[in-house]
Amino acid sequence: MPDAAAPDTPTLSVSTAPVVPTAGVTAVLRPLPSGAELTGGFWADRIAANGTAIPLGRARLDEAGNIENLRIAGGAAEGEALGPVFADSDVYKWLEALAWEYGRTGDPALLTQLDEVTAIVAAAQRPDGYLNSVVELRRRPRYDGLGWSHELYCAGHLMQAAVAAARATGRRELLGVAERLAAHLAGTFGPGGRPEVDGHPVVEMALVELYRLTGTRRHLDLAAYFVTARGHGHATPGDADPTYFSDRVPVRDADDVEGHAVRAVYLGAGATDVAVETGDEELLAAVRRQFAAMVRRKQYVTGGVGSRWEGEAFGDPYELPTDRAYAETCAAIGLVQWAWRLLLATGDPAYADQVEHTLYNAVLPGVSLAGTEYFYANPLQLRTGARADDNRSPAHGRRGWYDCACCPPNVMRTLASLPSQLATTTADGLQVQLYAPAVLRADVGGELAVELATAYPWDGRVEVTVHAAPPRDVEVALRVPAWAQGATLDGRAVPAGDYARVRRTFAVGDRLVLELPTPARLLVADDRVDSVRGCVAIARGPLVYAAEQPDQADGAAVDDLRVDPLAPIIATHRPGLLGGVTVLETRGGVVRRRDGRTPYRRYARPHPPVEPVDLTLVPYYAWANRGPRPMRVWLPTM
């Protein structure tokens, strides 16, 4: 926490992280008390770009009317509500980003903005604690049609912003608003009150975090109620199908994820929080089962989820089209939130692998290298001739904002708080989860501080130097991703998909060297994934690669490329390309064809000829920074 905020605000939390399990619960891992300090490298660049976007976010929220809605509701202006019913939530997500960014940079201009908009929000709150500018301005009855009204969804985002403000800046005004609203909700919903649940989860994890920060038990109780009530039709409006709302099967009984993807993963995250705080092993087992089912049959190779445009939904098992992948940026963010909570709850490094993989390959593609434009949908293929017939269409390229602007401020808060996910701690150890140049400080009954030096993700070498350690055995654990076969720690082989652990009495200046081999890897998919049958995807280290049109040799359309699985793949770092990326080059083929009268022909007829060609691939996250040009993650083999 920066000193600037310290004098007049007591520390309310032991951590500046978004997720801080209560002391004494069974969570296996905990966030570092003071987060982590990035000192450079890949993520520092991305987070710095995000920092330039946050002030622009304010301008967008002003232009789109979101902040004006709150001003009008607070009596400071006059007019009609603009935008969707959940317009307030975008303000709250942006406030959350502002708070984490202030926590990282200490920039006083951010604090000024936080205070100003907090005052606007506070003024819009009703004396009884109710708060929702759009419902008020449109004179809708409160909580009427909660399946679509998003009132608790907005409330949840407010609470998350308030927690961030308290933890990262020490400011408590927004926390006061959130607590009054939470008290209002506690007096309105749950046993003895209204039975409904918001159609869009998020309030569950928000209430748990508010409880974690304040210790007010009824926040946790209400979160537990909302998790338990779901699956009984309380979230589904009218005679709609409950699948969309994750309301068909109770969370405790569900074996899979289904319906609207963002709703489903936010619910999974909130249920995980409830399970951890209430010690509910059955509920924890249920959400682990659902997460595993998602990973097994419904996740893209990029980590993205929610394959259907129709209903922004999970599809049937193996329904993972590349061209029409929806893979909403917000769904990837929610997946990371869920995986992170499961990691803290269980200590299973497979969840950390999910956090890393999804951040690099499903969240980061959602934002431009400049940090200021966003994809809503993240396809794994853009065809030649793809038409942009929807404002979310990737054929438009990334856009600065959307009418339904859930994704941009969600990216902002995710990147601003990302340093909190670099490492975790236990009573006597430090676990490095993500690799980046950074200083990490844990309290293991005395400070255990290490510095990481690495060119990750371009290079798999990570040097860990001990800056401080208590005079007794403690453990430093370094995550070895499942892809890192042949990894070594100080020259000793360590298994992939687990932590490489060193337990000893460290001395200042001690060094550990982790080597994660990063040869390019060819991946194939289960043949039930129709869209990529006969194809390979290429990954290197934590990154999934893509063939993008601007990098291909003359005349070789991305649609027509072929990979030779036996050809060597050369990795070359190009500092001047796309902010500095390692490209992959290989010898493959290009189909030379003439279109027939139909796409179908007799089996016996020869396939069109394939001519040799050089292929160049770039990291998927960096695509569409040279215009929305044809791109493919999966390429057919020769």
Binding mask 322-351 for a second copy (x = CB under 8 A): xxx---------------------------
Q: Which of residues 178-217 bind a second copy (CB under 8 A)?
A: none
The two tokens of residue 293 are: 């089912």
Of 18, 74, 231, 315, which one interacts with a second copy (CB under 8 A)? 315
Of 246, 299, 368, 454, which one interacts with a second copy (CB under 8 A)? 299
CB 280 → a second copy: shortest distance, Å? 25
Backbone angles phi, psi at 563, to 5 degrees: -100, 135
Helix crossing, 349-358 with 329-346: angle to 10°? 160
Does 406 qualify as catalytic in the annotation?
yes
Of 289, 526, 553, 570, which one interacts with a second copy (CB under 8 A)? 526
Is residue 129 within 8 A of residue 114, CB to CB? The reply is: no
638 touches a second copy (CB under 8 A): no
3-state class (DSSP) for residue 252: coil
Of 78, 282, 310, 554, which one interacts with a second copy (CB under 8 A)? 310
Does 258 qualify as catalytic in the annotation?
no
Q: Determine whether 606 is exposed, middle or buried from the number of CB atoms within 10 Å of its CB (0-12, 13-18, 19+).
A: exposed
Active-site pick, 209, 312, 356, 548: 312
574/601 with CB nearer a second copy: 601
527 touches a second copy (CB under 8 A): yes
DSSP annotation string for 337-360: HHHHHHHHHH--HHHHHHHHHHII
CB 387 → a second copy: shortest distance, Å? 6
323/473 with CB nearer a second copy: 323
Of 191, 446, 495, 596, which one interacts with a second copy (CB under 8 A)? 596
82 touches a second copy (CB under 8 A): no
CB 528 → a second copy: shortest distance, Å? 6
CB 538 → a second copy: shortest distance, Å? 9
Backbone angles phi, psi at 343, to 5 degrees: -60, -50
386 touches a second copy (CB under 8 A): yes
CB 111 → a second copy: shortest distance, Å? 39
Helix crossing, 87-105 with 66-73: angle to 10°? 110
E-strand stretches of 433-491: 438-443, 447-454, 461-468, 474-480, 488-489
Q: Which of residues 20-49 bind a second copy (CB under 8 A)?
A: none
477 touches a second copy (CB under 8 A): no
CB atoms within 10 A of CB 132: 32
The two tokens of residue 1 are: 């926490």
Q: Which of residues 210-249 bind a second copy (CB under 8 A)?
A: 241, 243-244
Is residue 226 within 8 A of residue 197, CB to CB? The reply is: yes
The two tokens of residue 619 are: 């990291």
3-state class (DSSP) for residue 464: strand
Can you tell me the distance from the alpha carbon of 34 to that of 337, in angstroms, rounded to the nearest whole number? 19
**How big is the site for a second copy, counted in residues (CB under 8 A)?**
66
Of 53, 537, 546, 558, which one interacts with a second copy (CB under 8 A)? 537
Of 63, 80, 390, 447, which one interacts with a second copy (CB under 8 A)? 390
218/399 with CB nearer a second copy: 399
Query: Cβ contacts of residue 580 below 8 Å, gap of 6+?
Result: 573, 574
CB 395 → a second copy: shortest distance, Å? 8
CB 480 → a second copy: shortest distance, Å? 16
Active-site pick, 406, 407, 535, 548: 406
368 touches a second copy (CB under 8 A): no
297 touches a second copy (CB under 8 A): yes
CB 558 → a second copy: shortest distance, Å? 11
139/607 with CB nearer a second copy: 607
CB 475 → a second copy: shortest distance, Å? 27
Q: Which of residues 546-565 bind a second copy (CB under 8 A)?
A: 559, 565
Of 275, 535, 569, 590, which one interacts with a second copy (CB under 8 A)? 535
Can you tell me the distance from the alpha carbon of 635 to that of 623, in angstroms, rounded to the nearest whole number? 16
Can you tell me the distance from the alpha carbon of 238 to that of 220, in angstroms, rounded to the nearest whole number? 28
62/526 with CB nearer a second copy: 526
Of 309, 400, 449, 510, which one interacts with a second copy (CB under 8 A)? 309
Cα distances (angstroms) measured from residue 186 to each of 85, 192, 265, 391: 22, 10, 24, 38
387 touches a second copy (CB under 8 A): yes
211/545 with CB nearer a second copy: 545
Q: In what order do the strands lie in the sheet with 474-480?
A: 30-31, 423-426, 429-432, 474-480, 498-504
Can you tell me the distance from the alpha carbon of 132 to that of 135, in angstroms, rounded to the nearest whole number? 6
Is residue 41 within 8 A of residue 455, CB to CB? The reply is: yes
Cα distances (angstroms) measured from residue 339 to each of 17, 132, 286, 354, 597: 15, 30, 14, 6, 48
274/301 with CB nearer a second copy: 301
Can you tell me the distance from the alpha carbon of 340 to that of 427, in angstroms, rounded to the nearest whole number? 19
Cα distances (angstroms) measured from residue 336 to each of 162, 333, 578, 584: 21, 5, 25, 27
- H-helix or E-strand containing 174? helix 173-188
Can you tell me the distance from the alpha carbon of 361 to that of 303, in angstroms, rounded to the nearest whole number? 6
CB 532 → a second copy: shortest distance, Å? 7
CB 307 → a second copy: shortest distance, Å? 9
Give the range of 46-54, 161-169, 305-313, 506-514 binding a second copy by CB under 8 A. 305-313
Of 180, 308, 341, 413, which one interacts with a second copy (CB under 8 A)? 308
Give the range of 79-87, 163-171, 223-231, 527-535 binding a second copy by CB under 8 A. 527-535
Of 193, 534, 555, 612, which one interacts with a second copy (CB under 8 A)? 534
253 touches a second copy (CB under 8 A): no
Cα distances (angstroms) measured from residue 382 to each of 35, 327, 439: 38, 14, 40
40/565 with CB nearer a second copy: 565
Q: Any idea which residues carry the catalytic annotation?
A: 312, 406
Binding site for a second copy (CB under 8 A): 241, 243-244, 258-259, 292, 295-297, 299, 301, 308-311, 313, 315-324, 381, 383-387, 389-390, 521-537, 559, 565, 591, 595-604, 607, 636
